[in-house]
Structure 1
Amino acid sequence: MKLLKLVGVMALITSGTVSAESTAPNASVDAHFDTNPVITLGPRPAFLVNDMDEGPLKEKLKACIGMPMRASDFSIGHRGASLMFPEHTRESYIAAAQMGAGIVECDVTFTKDKALVCRHSQNDLHMTTDILAHPELAAKCTVPFTPAVPSKGKKANVECRTSDLTLKEFKQLKGKMDGANPMATTVEAYMKGTPGWRTDLYASRGTLMTHAESIELLKSLGVKMTPELKVPKVSMPFDGFSQADYAQKMIDEYKAAGVSAENVFPQSFNLDDVTYWIENEPTFGEQAVYLDARVYKQRNWKSSLKEMKALSEKGVKYISPPQFALLSLNKAGDIVASDYAEHAKQADINVISWTLERSGSLANGGGWYYQSVKDAINNDGDVLTVLDVLANDVGVVGVFSDWPATTTFYANCVGL
């Protein structure tokens, strides 16, 4: 994977952004968003740099504040720019491209009529859309809303799947920030669950997208694409739709859109999906990404060079675990590459990390994504220290981020 690229023709203007006219000659404009992105990072990178512990890395990054920025394949928009925009929406994808993400993710699942759509999970509509505000659609949910009973400590219960709706019904929904109030006694209160470290400021528009629509949008934005084939929550085959059909249909939509395989990084937590693409769609399988959940789903699992080489022998060239699997602390308490990272390097497998900027404040150790190095994490600026170790010691080729401005800034500053 090339670590740096400029979307379209490289032309910088003195304000430190990329000329809109120069980046994607076939771009379109809608009433609210220019789909021909100008690279603009906002104040967060400078905020993070200024929050770092003193040292050479801070001085190096500080010198880059305000410099012209180019889009970078190192910077991957996780569900778009989902820190502040409703995930997997048109608005979130455009924001990610405007922050210089060279690659943007659509998580792929399917509706009742087997249309492929962009959602993080087949059963998250009650968390990420306004389905509960549509009584006629909410009534179709696998588990209709049942209010919480706070006096008994009983949480609200609801589960709404994309497979509960036809595509026409799905398109009636609007994306919202991921979250819910589990102790809510009303639908309205349940829907108001956005974590405090996110915002609803940009949630007034949340245009849901089919997979095919996301392809056309991302083409117009001049970015590469990394679709994740989500694990179905329904039994497969679903009304005759097999897992192989599902994996093939996702690739077919790129072929129908005329997207070159070199611009697509298909992902799955299911190794069988990855090997299916390697065997049946070898040009797309060349960049297929195995999302590795073994590190947290299998108790006492430990990485080994033997297992990593076995993946390589199956044709797996990209692997992507959560970032804590790639990091460790040495005896001095410094963040370093983990055994897992070293094994991947020795097996000649490219590594992609997830997910940066998905933890809120890092003042108390950073939570789940930082669990292997929590003792070294105590301020928000530490996100850049982690990023530096991932890039230099681990040697990742890309990093998923909920706010790609951070990864774009780092990639440009260090000249990856």
Structure 2
Amino acid sequence: MRSIILGAALLAGLSGGEARAGEIAQIGPRPFYLVDSMKPGPVQDRLRACGSDRTYTARAFSIAHRGAPLQFPEHTREGVRAAARMGAGSIECDVVFTRDRHLVCRHAQCDLHTTTDILARPELAAKCSRDFQPADPATGRKASARCCTSDLTLAEFRTLNGKMDAFDAEATTRAAYMNATPRWRTDLYATTGTPMTHGEYIVLVKSLGRRFIPELKAPEVAMPFGGYTQDQYAQAMIDAYRQAGVPAADVRPQSFQLRDILYWLEAEPDFGRQALWLDNRDETDPGFDPETPASWKPGMADLAALGLRTLAPPLWMLVRVGAGGGIEPSAYARAAKAAGLDLITWSLERSGPLKGGGGYYYKSIRPLIERDGDVLALLDVLYRDVGVTGVFSDWPATTTFYANCMGIE
């Protein structure tokens, strides 16, 4: 089994990967459950014909979002390994910094209270920006806390244990606040969650023969932080790959902040040309509409002129309900392709059961989302009609399965 080799497009230029890079992907039963729950039609027929008895291998199209957080604590060694086993060609680390300015993997600078056991550790909870405050039904106050990586030193961060990302805003105790994993996820694999530094992530992903897709997270503290500037932070992330001997071709830096992309294009052009701009203007610009080009500031041609090559919006921005009642590319998707921009999108398998519309990630096609199998119907449109070159997923087995079945590297 270890003699099976990944497609050349995935591993071309990879340095230092061990033989494990050629392992067969373990996709498990979920993709077949999704196929069985699709609406009957040509896409279901083709995916069903793919079969469970064939060999599946890792694919570049399949990108692990924070590891495999549908069932494993995000940004942990265990989640990264699970994602690699499921055939993710690239594995994400969201990069933030500690109080002593070491880079670590965490989805947000201030999420330790929902993604780790910090609130159950009195000596560390006392260091939080805001320790746990219980809900007060009499006043309507919600339970809250705010614990940031920048509240802790690297040594303190290393002692944490990851847990499934969740909290209960109605909780009156710490234990209840922490014990809130949604029913459609699981704590079965959350008894151990080993947090990683950015450097440890590089070593692990390199050993697995996968590519790197680090995201520089926006700081949630005033910058400069003790003299640490945004540009120093952006540079430190790139420096880590240089120091580890990882070529720029194996790294896809990301940021929601366009200024970070422009910094990399200027200071580190080999890495900058690989960068993804994560477009969340729907959350930052009240006037933004993916069907109204005049609301896109900057526009697609402007982005291309700045040197951006890859745009990465959420799933819903790329699709709409077509005149015939099916899913079709949005005006945003068509304009991006016309401007010569590659598209990568996020995040599949993050919405739980799709009965009832699928929530945020499906909001532009909500009338068409009725069942779990619709995730594959959307994925098919994203690949065939929109032309995405990669898809983030919380359960990479699904995207690995689809890529193998459709012959995508």
Alignment partner, residue 130 of structure 2: 143
1:65, CA displacement in angstroms? 2.3
Structure 2: which 5+ residue stretches go unaligned? 8-15
Residue identity opposite 1:238 in structure 2: F
Contact 1:7 1:102 in 2 (8 A): no
Q: Which of the residues 387, 411, 414 maps onto 2:406?
A: 414
Q: How does 1:231-270 map to 2 (within 5 A)?
A: 231-270=218-257
Distance 2:371 2:37 in 1: 7
Question: Residue in 2 aligned with 1:18?
Answer: none
Could you tell me which residue of structure 2 aligns to residue 20 of structure 1?
A: none
SS in 2 for 1:316: coil
Query: Which residue pairs with 1:229 in the alignment?
Result: 216
Q: Which amino acid aligns with 1:250?
A: M
Structure 1 window deviating more from structure 2 (294-303 vs 404-413): it is 294-303
Matches of 1:184 and 1:25 in 2, distance apart? Answer: 46
Rounded to whole Å, the distance in 1 between the matches of 2:268 and 2:33 is 44
Which SS does the other structure have where 1:73 is aligned? strand
Q: 1:327 aligns with which of 309, 319, 323?
A: 319
2:116 to 102, 125, 129: 129
Give distance in 2, aligned partners of 1:126 and 1:343.
Answer: 40
SS of aligned partner of 1:145? strand
Are residues 238 and 112 of structure 1, via their aligned partners in 2, closer, same or farther at CA, if it must alter by over 3 Å? same
Name the CA shift for 1:26/1:252 in 2 (closer, same or farther; >3 Å): farther
| Closer/same/farther in 2, CA of residues 154 and 138 from structure 1, 3 Å limit | same
CA contact (8 A) 2:3 2:22 kept: no
Aligned residue runs from structure 1 range 325-364, under 5 A? 325-364=317-356
SS in 1 for 2:344: strand
Cα contact 2:24–2:58 (8 A) shared by 1: no
Distance 1:310 1:88, change over 3 A: same
Q: Do 1:295 and 1:321's aligned partners in 2 also have CA atoms closer than 8 Å?
A: no
1:300 is displaced (CA, Å) by: 2.4
- 2:368 corresponds to which residue? 376
Deviation at 1:297, TM superposition (A): 2.5
Alignment of 1:140-289 (within 5 A): 140-289=127-276
- SS at the partner of 2:277? strand
* Separation in structure 2 between the aligned mates of residue 247 and residue 391 of structure 1, nearest angstrom: 31
Aligned residue pairs total 394
Confirm or deny that 1:72 pairs with 2:56: no
Change in CA separation of 1:225 and 1:24 when aligned onto 2, cut-off 3 Å? closer
Any conservation in 2 of the 1:7–1:223 contact (CA below 8 Å)?
no
- Which consecutive unaligned segments of at least 5 residues does structure 1 have? 1-5, 13-22, 28-34
**Mapped contact 2:61–2:400 kept (Cα < 8 A):** yes
Structure 2 CA distance, aligned partners of 1:164 and 1:81? 26
Q: Distance in 1 between matches of 2:78 and 2:22?
A: 13
Q: Matched residues in 2 for 1:8 and 1:363: separation?
A: 41
SS class of match (1:391): helix
| TM superposition shift of 1:279 | 0.8
Q: CA deviation at 1:9?
A: 5.7
User: Which whole-Å CA distance do the structure 2 matches of 1:275 and 1:167 have between them?
Assistant: 29
1:397 maps to: 389
> Of residues 37, 41, 52 in structure 2, which corresponds to 1:55?
41
The equivalent of 2:30 in structure 1 is 44
- Give the Cα separation in 2 of the matches to 1:198 and 1:260: 36
Mapped pair 1:86 → 2:69 = no
Distance of 2:4 and 2:397 partners within structure 1: 20
Q: Structure 1: how far apart are the matches of 2:235 and 2:108? A: 19
> Once the 2 structures are TM-superposed, how far is the Cα of residue 25 of structure 1 from its aligned partner?
3.4
Give the ranges of 4+ consecutive aligned residues of structure 1 lying more than 3 Å apart after TM superposition.
Answer: 6-9, 23-27, 35-38
**Rounded Cα–Cα distance in structure 1 between residues aligned with 2:329 and 2:281:** 18
Matched residue type, 1:291? L
Q: Report the Cα offset of residue 372 of structure 1.
A: 0.1
Q: Which residue of the partner structure matches residue 302 of structure 2?
A: 310
**Superimposed CA distance per residue, residues 216-239 of structure 1 (whole angstroms, 9 cap, x where no aligned partner):** 000001000100000000100000
Q: Provide the TM-score with structure 2 as the length reference.
A: 0.93
Q: Does 1:296 align with 2:271?
A: no
| Cα distance between partner residues in 1 of 2:385 and 2:18 | 38
CA distance in 2, matches of 1:295, 1:169: 36
SS of the residue corresponding to residue 50 of structure 2 reads coil
TM-align CA RMSD: 1.8
Does the Cα contact within 8 Å between 1:36 and 1:221 map onto a contact in 2? no
Contact 1:7–1:222, Cα closer than 8 Å, also in 2:
no
Partners of 2:131 and 2:264 in 1: CA distance? 37
C-alpha separation in 1, matches of 2:39 and 2:86:
25
Partner of residue 10, structure 2: none
Match of 1:97 in 2: 84
Q: Normalising by the residue count of structure 1, what TM-score does the alignment of the two structures yield?
A: 0.92
